[in-house]
Amino acid sequence: MSKIRLITWREYITRVRKRSFIIMTILGPLLIALFYGILIFFIVNEDISRDLEQIYVSDPADHLHGNIEGDDYLLFEYGKEDPLPDDTIIARGYSGQLIIPANMEISDPKGIVYRSREALSMQTKEKLNRSIAKEIKDQKMIHLGISESKLDSLNTRVEVTAQVIGEDGEARNASTEISTGIGMALSLVIYMFIFMYGVQVMRGVIEEKTNRIVEVIVSSVKPFELMMGKVFGLAMVGLTQILIWVILTSLLMLVISSFFLGDMGSISEMMKTYSEMTPAQMEGLSNQEVMLSGLFNLNFKFIVGAFILYFIGGYLMYSALFAAVGAAVDAETDTQQFMLPITMPLIFSIVLSTSVVMRDPNGTLSFWLSIIPVSSPVVMMVRAPFINLHEQWWEVLLSAGILIASFCFTIWLAGRIYRTGILMYGKKATYKELFKWLFYKP
């Protein structure tokens, strides 16, 4: 055990002293904070990214009666004449020309064209579609003898507020959007770090094997101890980097939020206010306030604990397999045949997380994906913000227990391959030979 501890410390201290580790540890939070700051800036100043567009409307039959609604950034000029030549549109400074066919039927509006030199933006297209549809709808209502006021009285906006009953029996606001965003972000972080540090384990093994350094090392330590030291050492490196990222990113995002949204004292007071609100007080909140209260009511202790557990469990399981691959080959170019079965479950997990699990985090398929150990580290993080520990504690225990048992078995399995492959040179291993190595006696 002391040798594993020594190798773990060597791997850890060697990696954290590298210039690349220091640069990425500092640069990562800065890039995240920069992205967050730019996002908040454009949300707060949403009009800054819009340019004035002036569109000429050619409506020879006067179908729309010049009633298309514009706004401060989208202006219309109408003409009851055939479409103007493109050169004329450009010379007059129009962004484009909206052509309403003279033979268009109000009951079945087809053939409307927007023509311009530049591609039509999604925002402008949606605005044109809504404005034209509203005018045609108004005309149909007039023909049917229905007033707009009567029709508007039938339109009812419903906004369902989600609440979760806690262990104390109190109902608290929950934001589906916030929970989904946090779950997806954490699952992507786990996916990225498992893959990144797992590959580092494999490359380190290949490098030592290629340089024949491993022959000297295994004369003093057992191959299994060497593998475990590498795996644990890089796990500590990963946790160190994540911890620094979380602290620095949180501080930077808090500073940016206080700059755009208010001072730190008001933000802290707001967090306390929302977290202590009673259900009766929550009824009058706006959508943004509901989302904030949902954020502050999340069980962050459970989410952080689950993240650490599933990161360590997923990393140990996958990195042991990466170490076995590194021991089985002589060069990194030979790893492709063995990498696919390892990487496919990870990719499969992240793809399903962004589709199936995100749509229904407590569904049957999501449950089983969070139980299967090859997918649970990624999938469980998507589900974590949606899990009510008071009701679903057994799901978490079952998933964590299976993951722990699985990485113990995987480490044992990889160790059998590692102890033989680490000293094999000059021959490309096959799956058949890897199977034989499992039963070799030391």
Residue 137 structure tokens? 């709808």
CA distances from 82 to 21, 78, 428 (A): 65, 11, 74
What is the spatial distance between Cα 133 and Cα 346, in angstroms, rounded to a whole number? Answer: 45
Helices (H) and strands (E) in the chain, counts: 18, 6
What is the spatial distance between Cα 95 and Cα 175, in angstroms, rounded to a whole number? Answer: 40
What is the spatial distance between Cα 442 and Cα 424, in angstroms, rounded to a whole number? Answer: 14
More confident residue, 152 or 61: 61
Average pLDDT, the chain: 75
Find the DSSP H helices in 211-361: 213-217, 223-261, 264-275, 279-282, 287-296, 300-328, 336-352, 358-359
pLDDT at 407: 84
Calculate the CA 132 to chain-centre distance.
36
pLDDT at 401: 92
pLDDT in tens, 279-305: 555 555 555 555 555 556 667 788 888
pLDDT at 148: 65
The band of 97, judged by pLDDT with boundaries at 50, 70 and 90, is confident
Does pTM top 0.85 for this prediction? no
What is the spatial distance between Cα 13 and Cα 17, in angstroms, rounded to a whole number? Answer: 6
More confident residue, 353 or 178: 353
What is the spatial distance between Cα 212 and Cα 246, in angstroms, rounded to a whole number? Answer: 39
Mean pLDDT, range 256-265, rounded to an integer: 58
pLDDT at 270: 52
Q: Is the pLDDT of residue 265 over 50?
A: no
What is the spatial distance between Cα 370 and Cα 374, in angstroms, rounded to a whole number? Answer: 9
According to DSSP, the residues that pair with 115 across neighbouring strands are: 97
Mean pLDDT, range 195-224, rounded to an integer: 74
Residue % of the chain over a pLDDT of 70: 75
The band of 179, judged by pLDDT with boundaries at 50, 70 and 90, is confident
Q: How many CA atoms lie within 13 A of 349 on its CB side?
A: 31
Q: Is the pLDDT of residue 262 over 70?
A: no
Lowest mean pLDDT among 160-174, 179-193, 385-399: 160-174
Find the DSSP H helices in 145-222: 148-154, 176-210, 213-217
pLDDT at 168: 57
CA distances from 163 to 160, 259, 281, 361 (A): 10, 31, 13, 16
Calculate the CA 285 to chain-centre distance.
27
- ∠ CA 277-279-285, nearest 5°, is 70
Q: Are strands 171-173 and 163-165 parallel, antiparallel or unpaired?
A: antiparallel
More confident residue, 199 or 67: 199
Could you tell me if 59 and 78 are in contact, meaning their C-beta atoms sit under 8 angstroms apart? Answer: yes
Mean pLDDT, range 129-146, rounded to an integer: 78
What is the spatial distance between Cα 24 and Cα 245, in angstroms, rounded to a whole number? Answer: 10
pLDDT in tens, 372-428: 998 888 888 888 888 877 777 888 899 999 998 988 888 888 877 777 777 666 667
Residue with tokens 């469980």: 380
Which of 127-136, 201-210, 396-405, 428-437 shows the highest mean pLDDT? 396-405
Mean pLDDT, range 86-101, rounded to an integer: 78
The band of 264, judged by pLDDT with boundaries at 50, 70 and 90, is very low
Q: Is the pLDDT of residue 47 over 60?
A: no
Q: Is the pLDDT of residue 346 over 50?
A: yes
pLDDT at 398: 92
- 323, 320, 299: which is closest to 384 by C-alpha? 299
Give buried/exposed letters for 358-378 (b at 16+ CB in 10 A, else e): beebeeeebbebbbebbbbbb
What is the spatial distance between Cα 62 and Cα 233, in angstroms, rounded to a whole number? Answer: 75
What is the spatial distance between Cα 310 and Cα 353, in angstroms, rounded to a whole number? Answer: 15
CA distances from 434 to 16, 265, 278, 344 (A): 33, 60, 61, 19
Q: First-to-last CA distance in the chain?
A: 19
More confident residue, 429 or 351: 351
What is the spatial distance between Cα 339 and Cα 328, in angstroms, rounded to a whole number? Answer: 12
pLDDT at 317: 86
pLDDT at 402: 92
Could you tell me if 224 and 416 are in contact, meaning their C-beta atoms sit under 8 angstroms apart? Answer: no
